[in-house]
Chain A
């Protein structure tokens, strides 16, 4: 049976892992490679690395850390941030990343999704969506350039429409980051994830809001997502990976077991 995935997310800036609250005030958490290795050994099913400055910053970003991760990690990993062209994506994939995640550049140039699909295949094209629940209008709104507060802007897209659009263009997976929940550890946005799940036929990854093991159980059982992404609860040691996975297994959520523990 296909297991649900637990995905620690490491936000990267200048080759270091950082973490902010609701996309702001980033503090350094540690070096990338040892942290990545630690998560892989602890039982993470996949890792995501977001180069958070890249998308909102015009300079060329050093991505040599991608191949340093690929050398030591034996689970899949995805790289996000600053990938604006097929050439950028190819460079990251050749360094050993399994998938590339596109967010703001896909909103600026949606054809990029089709191009990536045609050149590298649907399996490696992940679309990240930063979605904000506007309580005044009751709408889910897509934002871009969220890596830099001064440039963050609302797009013309409503989230469910953008989810449909990226699928029609060849997205292989969608990571839905619910901005209202990000970094505050109050639980995933189950209502929003359920709404997106209804229109999402490719794997859907929940992001933003994990604070307790119960939140993971809820998001798998209630929103039927394929994976749950989280950062601070892992970086700060609030949730232990082994305990999380065994609790999810007991709750009836399919989890990967290591070799020899079938």
Chain B
């Protein structure tokens, strides 16, 4: 039976890009903010672009926080979606804000050491393991990044990237996965990663 794959409608603007990328892989997807639909899915995508504060406001308004925290199936956060998965973020006018707390960790401003921000473009990623999400994706593979905030390299890091500082290009904690780059816009490498996630 075909898997049920749901993209959480976070109200952010890259939802159609993620949907189209999965459709290119021949995967049926549904975009939903319905808690029952999300809870029943086999795989869940949490997309996001823009600011953490705005996205958390939208997620809270849709009353999705308890549903997302209760998920036990594989969940993949993309870009801002990944940043929303940790405990807190500095990306707010009001100082630190609470995120979804699915993965321990904190989002801070990327310490690019004089390099230009946003960190925008194709950069190389080094996975910490060569199976699972990064199956068939060797160290040095290019992915497309656009961000100014990041999660540092720590014990939940599944892949690293260097831009002024070493930061988490991908995270994993139990069933929760996140990628800082945009697999939906990362050519063949991105398609490989999305395929790996769908096959988990």
Contact = CB atoms under 8 A, between A and B. Distances in A.
A120 B49 contact: yes
A201 interface: yes
Nearest to A117: B51
B138 interface: yes
Size category, B interface: 35 or more
Contacts of A119: 50, 54
The secondary-structure label for the interface of chain A is loop
Nearest to A70: B20
Interface residues of A, number: 39
A251 B51 CA distance: 38
Interface in A191-214: 201-203
B132 interface: no
A182 interface: no
A4 B54 CA distance: 31
B33 interface: no
B153 interface: no
B53 to A, nearest CB: 10
Nearest to B18: A96
Given A75-B187, A121-B50, A123-B49, A2 B119 contact: yes
B16 A202 contact: no
A3 interface: yes
Interface in B146-200: 146-148, 162-163, 182, 184-192
Interface of A: 1-5, 40, 45, 67, 70-72, 74-76, 90, 93-96, 98, 119-124, 172-173, 201-203, 226-227, 256-260, 262
